[in-house]
Amino acid sequence: MRARGLAVAALVTALAVWPWVAPRYFVFLASVILVNVIVALGLNLLSGYTNQLSFGHAGFFAIGAYTAAVLTLRAPATPVVVTLALAGALTAAVGLAFGVPCLRLGGLYLTMATLAFGFVITEAILNLDALTNGADGLRVPAARLGGVALSTDAGRYYLTAAVAAVMVTAAVNLVRTRTGRAFLAIRESEIAAQASGVPVAAYKTLAFGLSAFYTGVAGGLFAFVVGFLSPDAFDVFLSVDFVVMIIVGGLGSVPGSIIGATVVTLLHDGLAAFQNYRPLIFGAILVACMLFMPGGVTQALGRAARR
Amino acid sequence: MTAATLVHVVVSGLATGSIYALMALSLVIIYNATRTLNFAQGEMLMVSTFIGWAAHRAFELPLGVTLVVAVVAAAAMGWLVERAIIRRAIGATHWDVLIITLGLSLMLRAGAGLAWTHDDFPFPSFFDSRPVALGPVRLAPVSIGIVGASLALMAALYALFTWTRLGRAMRAVAQNQRAARLMGISVERVYSSSWVLAAMVGAVAGVLVAPVVFLSSKMGLVVINGFTAAVIGGFGSMPGAVLGGMLLGVIENLAPLYLPSGIRYSVPFLVLIAILLVRPAGLLGRVEQRKV
């Protein structure tokens, strides 16, 4: 337990001093990683814990991002905390509205429905020109917090880091609550959970809502971090990337989400120099990773530690 | 809109739908045997079509031989992928294998791009694309040709699954793997055969569709439509895959005629969601009853 406390303290310190020691680009990169960590946490709540694999999280991510952007454009004085909360809440509402009818769908059918959801959202963004500026994209003004505009990379980084810290803490603690235990029970066996009196349908819906909330908040942060939104950034490949993060990291695990999001984001960034060879190398790494570390990096690390 | 135009649009929809159906069938063949969703199916189709085309250009092969080259290349690729990679993922879950096939699809697309660039190439066709008039209706021979060739292939698949030892073994494994093994069926052989068969079906679809959409490294994205078709029909059901594919193709071709351009691309997906709301296991699928 003490070692774990020390590790957390070291991580928090490293996150806090990062903008002072790292070049500007790496501050930006760290913000992107943290945004992806939040999405991976949210997706893992849904896929890892309640076995509902979603290929539509880029859609939720887009809803969050555009909500934050439009809100900041129309009401620039809104504190960023409120903006993010609203982005999360609206996305969660969409997630619930979509999740309830999807309760009947199992396995691949749900996956297909979420995939379709992602496509429909991208088309909707393209067509709602008045709000989203369609295919031309939307420039996002700086976030404001108590009269201060967060217009530097470091400012945006600290905002993202603070929100990510809250979200990670919440996710870690969620597992210890009644809801978290219910999620775990559903992960182990839906039928056994139902037989033990866990209202599976209600908790699966809740997981959809929570997952969408996390992804929406992350989308809002993403809007501020990159400063420009265009619909083609939220295509199916982004959804696939999110799924890759949680499977490579480890399904149903908070450290797994963090590791997966970090590894995949760094790989995408680090391989950019290889240009045309990038997908080739990335694909080969994915294949090798799943062949030699079935269950993801976290499980492999756990096995190595026990040995 | 006249009835003649409608017929024209429906027939070209059926042609598109046949390709989706073949794609859906190849996904279902692998899924039934191994419970794996093969993300790389579209890329395997694309690469085998490219190989056929490269041979066609290098040796000035007739089109029929090109088709054979593509199909043989696909069979070799399917066998290799299953033996060299998929079978080694022993401790892996279905999710892990999904990521493996995703990685493969990225590698194949990038590899094709490096070998043949990411440009579009014209591909020779068995059929003429200029419409001919049949009374008041104008039909493109290429549409009818695609539908006819696909139906012939489907009939061959039906025969294979109904009357041959291998086909029956494959159906047995799909129903109950353990019981099939106890009856002396080599499940491993069924795995390889499924990958080979699915790749071959994909290659035929590739050669049929390449003249229409052009040959390019992006061609593999048709796997998404194939997946949609298979889900609409009920994943795992082969008649369902055909029905879903045809339905999807016709809807996709009809939608632009009646609907504003803004939502036409969403139509297949909205239809899919609507169908799943009413029939959660697709049109011909059965809801699996799980025993505890």
| pLDDT at residue B246, rounded to an integer | 95
Across the interface, do A280 and B107 touch by the CB < 8 Å criterion? yes
User: Mind listing the pLDDT tens digit for each residue in B42-72?
Assistant: 999 999 999 999 999 999 889 999 999 999 9
Residue entry with tokens 């009374």: B135
* Contact indicator for B32, B211 with CB cutoff of 8 Å: no
Query: Is 90 exceeded by the pLDDT of residue B29?
Result: yes
In chain B, the largest separation of any two C-alpha atoms, in whole Å, equals 61
β pairing state of A148-150 and A138-139: unpaired
Q: What is the pLDDT of residues B212-258, one digit of tens each?
A: 888 999 898 889 899 999 999 988 889 999 999 999 999 988 888 88
- Amino acid A57: pLDDT: 95
Q: Examine the pLDDT at B260 and tell me if it is beyond 80.
A: no
Residues of chain A below pLDDT 70: 1
- Measured in Å, how far apart are chain A's first and last C-alpha atoms? 19
Whole-number mean pLDDT of chain A?
Answer: 89
pTM confidence score:
0.90
**What sign has the CA pseudo-torsion B174, B178, B180, B186?**
positive
The pLDDT of residue B288? 62
Return the pLDDT at B91. Answer: 67
Q: How far apart are the first and last CA of chain B?
A: 56
pLDDT of residue B289: 62
Distance CA A182, CA A245 (A): 24
Question: Distance between CA atoms of B128 and A188, rounded to whole angstroms?
Answer: 57
pLDDT averaged over chain B?
A: 89
Look at the block and give the residue holding tokens 């978290």.
Answer: A180
pLDDT score for A84: 95
pLDDT in tens, A146-198: 777 888 888 899 999 999 999 999 999 988 899 988 988 888 888 898 898 89
What proportion of chain B, given as a percentage, has pLDDT over 70? Answer: 97
Condensed to tens digits (0 to 9), the pLDDT of residues A106-140 reads 778 888 889 999 999 988 998 888 888 888 888 88
Name residue, tokens 């108590």. A146
What's the confidence (pLDDT) of residue B4?
82
Interchain pair A291, B85: CB under 8 A: yes
- With CA atoms as reference, the chain A residue closest to B114 would be A276
Does residue B17 register a pLDDT over 90?
A: yes
Minimal Cα distance from A284: which residue of B? B103
The predicted complex's ipTM stands at: 0.85
Q: What is the pLDDT of residue B1?
A: 65
* 8 Å CB contact of B99 and A295: no
Q: Where on the phi/psi map is residue A285: left (φ > 0), alpha (ψ -120 to 50), or beta? A: alpha
Chain B partners within 8 Å of A105 (Cβ): 276, 280
Q: And the tokens for B134? A: 């049949």
Of A105, A248, A280, the CB nearest to B99: A248
pLDDT of residue B146: 92
Q: Residues of chain A with pLDDT > 90: what percent? A: 44
Strand ranges in chain B using DSSP code E only, listed in sequence order: 132-134, 137-139
Are the CB atoms for A265 and A241 separated by under 8 Å? no
Return the closest-CA partner of residue B181 out of B199, B191, B286. B191
Query: A119 at the B interface (CB within 8 A)?
Result: yes
